[in-house]
Amino acid sequence: MFGLGFLQSPTFTLPFEVSKMCPAACFGVKPSYEIGNIGSFLPQKCTRSNSIRAEVLIADPKRGERVFPELTIQGIPRDDFHISEIVKKQSQTNGFFRKGSLRKVNFNPMFLEEAYQRCQIICAEYAKTFYLGTRLMTEERQRAIWAIYVWCRRTDELVDGPNADYISSTALDRWEERTEDIFRGRPYDMLDAALADTVSKFPLDIKPFKDMIEGMRMDTWKSRYENFEELCLYCYYVAGTVGLMSVPVMGIAPESAVSSQSIYDAAVYLGIGNQLTNILRDVGEE
């Protein structure tokens, strides 16, 4: 669905100008697509909405009335993941607009509504249980998680989709450049636009996204892991990174007695644990 042909299409060679982006020219699932019993959760039409202001609550990293043991994996120092750097960047809610490094996106409300709706449809179709969980979140958090999910799915499809045999390191390099453009507010298509809007509202750092792409690169040349440390590093790249992407959207309660670092650690290791479980399940099936 999101294979090499998608990357090579001339339509996406250069970013669209935001003012020229329109639903008819963008890649995505048709809004009228029905999804079984989950279809009742989907909006029936696009409606104009005001700009959403996402309030992210960050716990004081110095607060620590209770002491929690550091999460570690034997033989794998936490510093290998550079999580502390990501925590520091993502704990600054206004970090995106410092020194003009990234610019705030400004899309037509109707266009943006349809972009998020398409992300919602894809999430509901391919991750039904996960999608139902997102329905417990506030509206702005739901939309952000759907946009992140779609980017992760498209990234995974590059090396695990129908065109995976034809994916080269060059294609992944182009996908990484495309992701950098999303963070600069220059999306290539409608689904990219949803993520561009999300990163303008939540303190998301690009490193977890780049790390996931690095995991896809590993898939293209490495199929055996000599020890658990190597396997765990791979699991961080392809799944632990999802935890780092999710925490800024879900937020941390200001009254939390747990430090931000501990919460991010837990999110990373939850992702790693899920990936290890998936690997064990695949071994059983194969």
pLDDT in tens, 166-224: 888 899 999 999 999 999 999 999 999 999 999 999 999 999 999 999 999 999 888 88
Which residue in 144, 156, 148 sits closest to 53, CA to CA? 144
Spatial distance between the Cα atoms of 26 and 144, rounded to a whole number of angstroms? 19
pLDDT in tens, 139-158: 999 999 999 999 999 999 99
What are the φ/ψ torsions at residue 76 (nearest 5 degrees)? Answer: -125, 95
Model confidence band, residue 64 (pLDDT cutoffs 50, 70, 90): very low
Using the predicted structure, report yes or no on whether residue 112 has a pLDDT greater than 60: yes
- Written as six digits, the tokens of 266 are 């837990």
Which domains are seen in the chain, by residue range?
37-61+82-96+107-281 (1.10.600.10)
Higher pLDDT pick, 48 / 143: 143
pTM over 0.85: no
Spatial distance between the Cα atoms of 272 and 286, rounded to a whole number of angstroms? 21
What's CA 29's distance to the chain center, in Å? 19
- Written as six digits, the tokens of 241 are 């990174």
How confident is the model at residue 93, as a pLDDT? Answer: 53
Question: What's the chain's length in residues?
Answer: 286
